Structure 1
Amino acid sequence: MCLALAAGLVLFSALAAAHDALSVGDLSVGQIEEELQNCPLVESLNEHKRLTSPQTTSLTSKIFSVLFPGSPAVNAILATIYISGPPNFLLALCPPNIDPSSLSVMVAFAVGGLLGDTLFHLLPEIFLGEGSPDSVRFVMVEPNRNLLLGLGIMVGFFTFVAMDKTLRIATGGAGHDHSHAHAHSHDDHPTATTSGTSTSPEPSTPLKQRKPTAITTATATPAPETEKEINPSVKLGGYLNLIADFTHNITDGLAMSSSFYASPTIGATTTVAVFFHEIPHEVGDFALLIQSGFSKRKAMGAQFVTAIGAFLGTFIGIAVQELGGGHGSTAAGVESASAGLLGTSLTWGDMLLPFTAGTFLYVGTVSVIPELLETGPDKRVEVKKTIVQFLAVMVGAGIMLVISWD
């Protein structure tokens, strides 16, 4: 018995030594997290967190659980339906002669929502991860991980810069403005020249020459034709706007998929932010299509076609997450830290969320803020308008903050 006990002790010591000899670099992030959870101090912290955390579920969590009851892939598809369907159906209530510049307050509200979602949800999730309700979490800093995540944000930002620049070149300087206020003012110029009220002398001279020789009925008949006539550059701007919307909706779909694979909370809040953003965006696009010569029915149909881009982006994001790894496969762990992207624990799926954050930063700042900075000659009116816009931004950001508050 003594010999058997001694042999057992030797075998146990050998196994312990072999376990200690395992290289730390061979452990995945999930394995390191699991080992840390076995630490007595961490177990005490977990117990304290479970005792002190509230057991009741907030109202927003209950609503989100009803709206998004499935897996990350199912929830991403549901979110895409939510952000694509209702805003397009609201176009049926919009008058055809709506002025996009009148949407400034709604656009300001959407800016607050987008930037609030980016700063309160996406960026903390990208660099720190999502907390667990039952246990404490540790953030391990890798040498190049944060650099790659920052690179992903920059790539997303400049992807939209390149798209916007391309559209400006194609349209001769009129880019794809978020609320299309600039495009609207640009469209007013050709209508002014056709009505003969322009200050330019060239178009007014032939009109005066035709007047004495034309009969009154003959001069009355071309007038409706000139009113219906749309400048070719305006028509081109309308079709290019559809292409831009389709591309923009693809990034919205990518945002849905990447955020839900990160966590249900991030996915739900991103859905809310994109929904707030889509309403003024769709109304502005609808008004631009009407100005480009589309009928109301055709403009609504074109907006529904561009909504296909959101579903395409969602399915692409789901495929990248499922095949390329990411937050959904973190629990299984990577075999080693060097098996990830460029020697880090990141996978291609993990780069979708930084890309989304970069596009949101562009839309919320470069694409929209210039419109909010525009001012008119009446100082009193502009001061009131600015106060309302800032309040709308704070309300949009405040909603995101309340949703994310623990």
Structure 2
Amino acid sequence: MNKTVAIFISLAFFACNQIWAQEVETQQKVFTTLVDLPVTSVKNQQSTGTCWSFATISFIESELLRLGNSKSDLSEMYIVRWAYSQKAKRYFHLHGKGNYSEGGQAHDVLNVVREHGFVPESVYSGNQYGSDFHIHKEMVESTKAMLDVIVTNPNRKVTPVWEESVNAVLDTYMGKTPKNFVLNGVEYTPVSYAKKMGFNADDYVELTSYADYSYYQTVDLEVPDNWSDDLYYNVQLNDLMAIINHALRNGFTVCWDGDVSEKGFSHRDGYAVLPATKAVDMSDSEIAKWENNLADNKGDTSSDNRELTVDENLRQVTFDNYETTDDHLMHLTGIVKDQNGTVYYKTKNSWADNSNEYGGYLNMSEAYVKLKTVAIMVHKDAIPSEIKKKLGL
């Protein structure tokens, strides 16, 4: 980029920030806590599209607290490393027609844990490429290029070392995953460590709510990052919200998958709302792209505090026209209300604890969650009994 242009953009961005700050200053919200569940510290996914691992590991860490363990710091990149291998194999089996990218879903974490367990952050950092922060673009693009050559079968037969070659590149960037490790004088394998902590991946389910699918059946949720074609329980919207509320009010946190590209989403200001006036979509959602769109995102809240009324039809329409996409995963850890009585869900993000003035958290309004939730993951016991019965759980 030309240096003069870069300086101009920086000054313009600063000016937009100042305008944005002035506009929201008069719209300050005051929140009262209703539910606030135990959590671990806010982490930073840095320059990666691995929110799915950070959100789900945060969720697991809260589950471990609920199960009576002390606070833990699990390695997100241990999960990511294994997931890349699994994605590569599926991409190969689909002759290069599948999804091989940084994105994923909450079940990707559970699928790794079932087979490979988990490890503390101190055991596996997942960064062997000399950077001060996680960045996967070069690694993913280079391994995808390898896979694209391999699946064209230039040798006229499958090369038996293709998988070893791809994994060698992943290991070069991220490091080999440990077979065992010592913690507090005790030797564990990743699987035995997860078992010792009392975590059972089979205790958790994912749920969604879309009218095009049969209700109270398992469905293959058709989003690109569901590359493994895992199944979700499809429930009616009222039941989806009932599950979220019942979980949080009974000590269970919720892993949330949804859309943060709405005009009413402001991580910087610590809340997300769904203004009654039509929201303007942004082009993407991870934090760097969100920052680049900040100038377009100004004035996101309606001064009269009105929000859209959300029903199943609106959810389906916005899903079908790509207004709602599975672009980010976060962790719901509590319930608050503002000075007007509007209910919000306290949300732990993975954009670092210094990414806003609220320690990396934000509050998403009930209307926002109703419309912009693509899916959730909860413990089976977090689901109200009458809904569990409908699902046959």
Q: TM-score range by the shorter chain?
A: under 0.3
Q: Which structure's residues are more often strand, by fraction? A: 2
Return the TM-score normalized by structure 2. Answer: 0.23
Query: Which of 1 and 2 has greater Rg?
Result: 1
Return the TM-score normalized by structure 1. Answer: 0.22
Q: Which structure's residues are more often helix, by fraction? A: 1
Greater relative contact order, per chain length (Cα 8 Å cut-off, separation 6+): 1
